[in-house]
């Protein structure tokens, strides 16, 4: 796919984490987690550039010591707000994203079919009951109806056969959508579920959700970290 637009990849890297403190600098087979994310994302030929955005001097020092482009930001309530600050320093009309599956995220943006995109992957019933896995329900055209930590849709009859989808927390945005997000106050649904993407939905901003067969592991707990380390053979 040819790309005539400048596409900037931004990896938000907040050091503080309630469930897994300092997680972006935790080692995975000898490299910090943020380092692994950067190496995976930079393999995409669609990215014009890639940068880590952080409010932590410790993360900044690590990146500078490993030749990873990094910029310092202020403190923000969400990763999307952090991206907006980076965008304000950047010229041009570009979508911004966090990680891989990049082609799937960017195709609707570059084709001007969407302003915000994210990903989903099929999941089993057991994982759907885990509040650490965010679920998404979409309409027939692939637009998000809702995101929740609870199993959605609810199988009221108990008959089974419900197809659940896990939300993979990677996004692409146009510059305009990102600016609009930042202007909006945190929404009640966003605060209730602790899911920043609900700020878009509660304000009537569509999110196109593409399905991928390839899951990722979002590292939020020690168990997640152990799974990732095992995959890297560490």
The pLDDT score that the predictor gives to residue 113 is: 95
Q: What is the average pLDDT across 207-214?
A: 94
pLDDT > 90 fraction of the chain, expressed in percent and rounded: 48
Q: What is the pLDDT of residue 135?
A: 97
Inside any domain, residue 224: yes
Q: Which residue do the tokens 């966003």 mark?
A: 190
Q: Which residue has the higher pLDDT, 128 or 2?
A: 128
CA atoms within 13 A on the CB side of 162: 20
Decide if 113 is inside a domain. yes
pLDDT at position 143 is 98
Q: Is 33 inside a domain boundary?
A: yes
CA 64/CA 59 separation, integer angstroms:
9
pLDDT at 227: 80
By percentage, how much of the chain surpasses pLDDT 70? 91
Asked which of 132-136, 183-187, 205-209, 219-223 is least confident by mean pLDDT, the reply is 219-223
Number of neighbours of residue 101 by Cβ within 10 angstroms: 21
Q: Is residue 186 part of a domain?
A: yes
- Which residues neighbour 229 within 8 Å (Cβ) at sequence distance 6 or greater? 28, 29
Q: The tokens of 203 are what?
A: 């304000």
Averaged pLDDT score across all residues of the chain: 86
Residue 83 covered by a domain: yes
Q: Quick check: 95 pLDDT over 50?
A: no
Give the domain extent around 166: 8-231
Distances (CA, A) of 76 to 171, 182, 218: 17, 10, 20
- Residue 98 belongs to some domain of the structure: yes
- Quick check: 91 pLDDT over 50? no
Residue 88 lies inside a defined structural domain of this protein: yes
Domain count, the chain: 1
pLDDT digits (tens, 9 = 90+) for 42-60: 888 888 889 998 889 999 9
Q: 3-state SS string over 108-161?
A: HHHCCCCCEEEEEEEECHHHHCCCCCCEEEECCCCEEEEEECCCCCCCCCCCCC
166: CATH: 3.90.550.10
Q: Which residue did the predictor score with more confidence, 16 or 22?
A: 22
Q: What is the pLDDT of residue 21?
A: 82
**pLDDT tens-place string over residues 27-40:** 988 999 999 999 98
Over residues 126-147, the pLDDT tens digits come to: 999 999 899 999 999 999 999 9
Sequence length of the chain is 234
CA angle 31, 34, 35 (to 5 degrees): 45
pLDDT of 89 strictly over 70: no
Would residue 3 count as lying in a domain?
Answer: no
């Amino acid at each position: 796919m040819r790309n005539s637009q400048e596409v900037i990849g931004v990896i938000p890297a907040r050091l503080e984490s309630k469930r897994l403190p300092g997680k972006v600098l935790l080692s995975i087979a000898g490299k910090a987690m943020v380092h692994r994310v950067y190496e995976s994302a930079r393999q995409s030929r669609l990215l014009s550039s890639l940068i880590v955005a952080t409010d932590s001097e410790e993360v900044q020092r690590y990146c500078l010591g490993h030749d990873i482009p990094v910029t310092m930001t202020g403190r923000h309530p969400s990763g999307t707000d952090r991206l907006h600050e980076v965008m304000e320093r950047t010229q041009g009309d570009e979508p911004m994203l966090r990680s891989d599956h990049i082609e799937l995220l960017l195709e609707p943006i570059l084709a001007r079919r969407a302003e915000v995109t994210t990903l989903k992957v099929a999941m089993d019933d057991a994982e759907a009951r885990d509040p650490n896995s965010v679920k998404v329900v979409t309409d027939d055209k692939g637009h998000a109806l809702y995101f929740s930590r609870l199993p959605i849709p609810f199988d009221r009859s108990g008959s089974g056969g419900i197809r659940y989808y896990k939300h993979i927390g990677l996004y692409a945005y146009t510059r305009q959508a990102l600016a609009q997000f930042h202007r909006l106050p945190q929404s009640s649904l966003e605060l209730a579920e602790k899911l920043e993407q609900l700020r878009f939905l509660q304000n009537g901003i569509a999110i196109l959700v593409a399905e991928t067969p390839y899951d990722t592991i979002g590292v939020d707990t020690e168990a997640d970290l152990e799974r990732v380390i095992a995959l890297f053979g560490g």
